[in-house]
Structure 1
């Protein structure tokens, strides 16, 4: 039974894998030490504003740029030869596994002259910045954390979530009227480099396992021991992660996932020696209005009325009155004659069908058909 009914309800969802969680970090050099000449404001020979663009790799958690400004060409070459941001960050990762406090250990490269550096918000700001149309009333926008004015040299770390994906744009602005400036720029991104087994990280495996286990618990609602649910979910995850990568699972449609989970479920159900006799999934969403009416099940006729009133006649001739209410996915009958409450799991409720099962010692599954309304 479980292979054909319960498990489909557990697992009919798409597992979308996102790269989250921290294990180790890796430095990726995006711009090697590069020299950019930014002309003076009044010079007609070149531009006093320039933009350097680059795309961040997936899973970037922070990135750094190193900046030095000189007028002397020899000093520019010395910086390129002596200060390598990528090497420094790689060494920090090798020694500590993380760059969370790296800015304290990177120091600053030498510099001698001023230049403004703006981390522009988007590509839309590039044309305004480069064309100087801000002088005509237009505006360009930039990230203050990642920008510096009157900057001589230093290392800037960028951690703003708005600047950790996609294309980034560093604008260089020389405010000196008469003298151009040479800028040495380096850019390094830090990404999570997570150990994987068949493409699965430990964190993602745990997340999917918890998702499967939670769906089981909600669907079975106390009909199966939690240890059995945990063992079944663990077995299914072991099979799933062994046979398929996260990318393969993410690419499957629902109709493709059905037979996969059914096969794994059947294997694990038998391998673990589980017994889910009379186990039926409960209905997740209950509309109380649908339960109002006259019903007939295997051994009684009962009327569920508005305002919580209940009347039932058994085929033996006994009858009773009382009250009813719905609590989550449970139906509760309280009878006036013996002042006790009987609790049922609602397995299915439609306009004309009610399937329910006792939560006590009687595990009978009752099927009721609506014969009329009020």
Structure 2
């Protein structure tokens, strides 16, 4: 362990000399495997509502169960009718390394027909993980930002969401979640954006700082790093590695189009092969009119006839052609598209045509 302590002291000196231009810290582009949040959820009752609760079967059943836990038993034929109670779902997120006794913020949402949770109090609710074990207990007064109001004539006004609220520090952690952080001889960094080049650069930066064969890329997303077994030394070692500066590789050339909003984002590495684009419109308008033809009043056997007359108007807009030479950059592409003066839907059609023709070097992603 003395070796790791000496390496850490030497690395601190080397870290200050590392170039930081156009680079990011390892902690900003990776996550340590096993160090993660965990979701917990529970079912409970909110009481004290000013008549804005519900009278559903499962709410009445939950209310009867709550009373039985306090030794109060209702007659089998008795159905409690309460409008100040609502059944709710309670959920929270447990950060990594959270310990028993610490508190969590919880979100409470109505699962029935309650009109509003404003003014309610959540009764003791067990919050469980995916393994079915209880990890926290929630209770407290709700903070609800939304509200609703109903008039005698049936009119209703609703602002925000009155059927959901929060309880700051409303849950107390009762059980810690085990983490593999202190186990084994290695730590694994997972890249937020998997890339083989970035994985190699992270590995090389760690090896240059700490020593050869300390880090080894496993694939495009993971880097395996030799770490001390002692927990305190491992924390200091990880704190050191998180501040290492690495220049991530350029992302894949791509064009992202939001078909609903018309938003188009073009990456800097998008280029065009030799191509020509022509843009024009052909408008065809067909109008139907009816005419009445009456017979001569002195004609024998004459009758009134209705005839249809069609008017077809064809209008072709001026079409302009733009030619792109090899290696056309993003700026050239944007200028050309803007020069055409088209809308987002037409731009999308042009990009799709370029991709289909093989002239667009980059991924076209439509969301």
After TM superposition, is the score higher than 0.5? no
Q: Structure 1 length as normaliser, TM-score?
A: 0.25
Structure showing greater relative contact order (alpha-carbon pairs closer than 8 Å, 6 or more residues apart): 1
Larger helix proportion of the pair: 1
